Chain A
Amino acid sequence: MMGASLPPILEVKGLRKQFGNHVVLASVNLVVPRGSIVSVLGRSGTGKSVLLKCLAGLLMPDDGEVRFENGLLDGFRRRCSYLFQGNALFDSLTALENVALPLQQTTRLGRREIAQAARDALRSLGLEKFANHFPAQMSGGMQKRLALARSLVTRPALVLFDEPTAGLDPPARNAVFEMIVQYRQEFDFTAVVVTHDVPEALIASDRVALLEEGRIYFEGTPAEFTALDDCIVRSFGENSVTLRASLDK
């Protein structure tokens, strides 16, 4: 487990985003230590995905700032990857072509080097046999791994995961979190994971942030989260225990 003492790779200060009169993010402050897995928890509609899209530059915040590696936002796009809830794979491209795409379009590597790097990424995620398959010919879990392979092929410093376990059954959810922990070590990236899955997030994360009413209501380690005597935090903890019990059954 990695603590908040590590130097931050990402700092969010006073981030605000509203759509019309509806304020989704009032003022979000968040520090993501380098090399850590930070899970952002929260109920549906609290703006977790909006926060992630603001971090990725897909939405422009109304106010506040996002600092990447002490403010060096120039290389942010090249050093950050985003894993979409629906995977966002190109359905007309094969698995190999999907993984090769960011290298083809953003680097000056040769065709052979790109193909080799893409095959290596597929092999790392156990998909080398499916290189010539289209996403539609793969299962949900394989598509998730393929999307992760595409995210990791450029060796990003930061990977943003938007609900990576949405729509998956409990074993598949565990597998996704295992995958994040395992490949974090292998590929050496920092992860920000937006999720509803409290039990898995508490086990897999180094730090947890709870988004409530447009602000970070709690930020700390999973142990601090479960130990805190607070009605809102406790409601998540109780859900976690209930879910754990039902999973154990």
Chain B
Amino acid sequence: MMRLLQAVGQNSLATVAGLGDFAMFASRAVAAAAATRQLGRRWISAVHEQGVRCVPVITIVGLFAGLVLGLQGYYVLARFGAAGTLGIFVSLTLTRELAPVLAALMIVGQAGSAIAAEIGIHRNTEQIDALITMGIDPLGYLVTPRLLAALIVFPVLTVAFTLVGLAGGYLSGSVLLGLDGGVYWSGVHSAVRIADVRECLLKAFVFGVITIAICCHSGFTTHRRTGVSGSHAVSVSTTRAVVLASIATLAADYLITCFLV
């Protein structure tokens, strides 16, 4: 019993210390923006890394999410004689919930894992130490541009996900199952309010900052992984980044929804 309590206590302390370390890391990265040279160029590169490279996966997943929503929604709503509300169902589900969450998870899988691995390799090969000895702030050089890129990439890709998803819902609901296209799009138009779009963008914005900060932090602290080193430590950091960022996305989604509903 004592051992169990001891283990719980130690893990709790480690978790609190880890959260404190993460908060310090993220705040120092934000503060470094003021002193980082050529931030614009690094930011453009980070937008390409997170944004442009994720467009295919966002398009494909958005399309299939919309297709499935249209299909499931049509048959469920048809049971209650409400198939005409498919546009409302698809648009609100995507805008308020699925688009920000799925887009964030996809970006984490595609770009977040790459960021954690790249920074982890920088750490392993002493490139971060090299930056320090050159008088360059490694947070400003490696992390700040990526955090700033997330502020624009996540909302833009979430909007793209929503639009492609709506098209997917139209394809399965109207083109394949025969619902009138005008009914579908008028449902979309009437259902989505500015508050829904605001919630969608707020979620995307928050998920972007949290997930990219987690991925950068995980890579940056690769040398602290206990029991592993070298390429194994990089792989552990990458896995950890994706898992933690995914959990954080869903937890933040719940909290934001609690406050906004």
Q: Are A105 and B136 in contact (CB under 8 A)?
A: yes
B129 touches A104 (CB 8 A): no
Which chain B residues have a beta carbon within 8 Å of chain A's beta carbons? 36-38, 125-127, 129-130, 132-136, 141
The one of B36, B125, B126, B135 that contacts A77, using a Cβ cutoff of 8 Å: B135
Using a CB-CB cutoff of 8 Å, which residues 51-85 of chain A contact chain B?
53, 56-58, 77-78, 80-82, 84-85
Assuming the contacts A86-B126, A90-B127, asked whether A106 and B135 have C-beta atoms less than 8 A apart, the reply is yes
- How many A-B contacts are there with CB distance less than 8 Å? 52
Closest A residue, CB atoms, query B141: A105
B127 touches A102 (CB 8 A): no
Known contacts A102-B135, A106-B135: A88-B38 contact under CB 8 Å? no
> CA A162 – CA B33 in complex, angstroms?
32
Q: How many residues of A contact B (CB 8 A)?
A: 23
- Determine the chain A residues whose CB is within 8 A of the CB of B127 once the complex forms: 88-90
Contact B126–A88 (Cβ < 8 Å): yes
For A243, list chain B residues within 8 Å (CB). none
- Of the residues A58, A78, A88, A91, contact of B135 by C-beta under 8 Å: A78
Q: Which residue of B lies closest to A98 (CB)?
A: B130
Which A residues are CB-close (under 8 A) to B38? Answer: 104-105
- Name 15 A/B residue pairs within 8 A (Cβ), A-sorted: A56-B133, A58-B129, A58-B132, A77-B135, A82-B130, A82-B133, A84-B126, A84-B129, A84-B130, A85-B126, A88-B129, A89-B130, A104-B38, A106-B135, A154-B134
A102 & B136 in contact (Cβ 8 Å cutoff): yes
Partner of B133, one of A81, A91, A104: A81
Q: Which residue of A lies closest to B129 (CB)?
A: A58
Scan residues 85-136 of chain A and give those whose CB is less than 8 A from a CB of chain B. Answer: 85-86, 88-91, 101-102, 104-106
Report the separation of the CA atoms of residues A169 and B28 in the bound assembly, to the nearest whole angstrom.
43
**Nearest A-chain residue to B128, judged by Cβ:** A88
Residues of B with C-beta under 8 A to A104: 37-38
Nearest 5 pairs between A and B by C-beta? Answer: A88-B130, A82-B133, A88-B126, A77-B135, A102-B134
- Chain B nearest Cβ from A104, distance in angstroms: 6
Contact B133 A105 (CB under 8 A): no
Q: Which has the most chain A C-beta neighbours within 10 Å: B129, B135, B136?
A: B135
Of all chain A residues, which has the CB nearest B118? A92
A162 to B132, CA, bound (A): 15
Given A82-B129, A106-B136, A150-B134, 19 other A-B contacts at CB below 8 A?
Answer: A56-B133, A58-B132, A58-B133, A77-B133, A81-B134, A82-B130, A84-B129, A84-B130, A88-B126, A88-B127, A88-B129, A89-B130, A102-B135, A104-B38, A105-B36, A105-B37, A105-B38, A105-B134, A106-B135
Task: Give the chain B neighbours of A154 by CB distance below 8 A.
Answer: 134
CB-CB under 8 A from B125, the residues of chain A are: 86, 88, 91
Interface 0/1 of A3-39, CB less than 8 Å to B: 0000000000000000000000000000000000000
Most buried by B among A77, A80, A85, A105: A105
Per the bound structure, the CA–CA distance linking A121 and B126 in Å amounts to 22
Q: Could you tell me the distance in whole angstroms from the C-beta of B221 to the nearest C-beta in chain A?
A: 16
Q: Which residue of B lies closest to A82 (CB)?
A: B133
Complex: how many Å from CA A16 to CA B127?
26
Question: Which residues of chain B have C-beta atoms less than 8 A from A58's C-beta?
Answer: 129, 132-133
Cα of A89 to Cα of B133 in the assembled complex, Å: 13
Set of chain B residues within 8 Å of A85, measured between Cβ atoms: 126
Q: What string of 1s and 0s marks CB contacts (under 8 Å) between A184-213 and chain B?
A: 000000000000000000000000000000
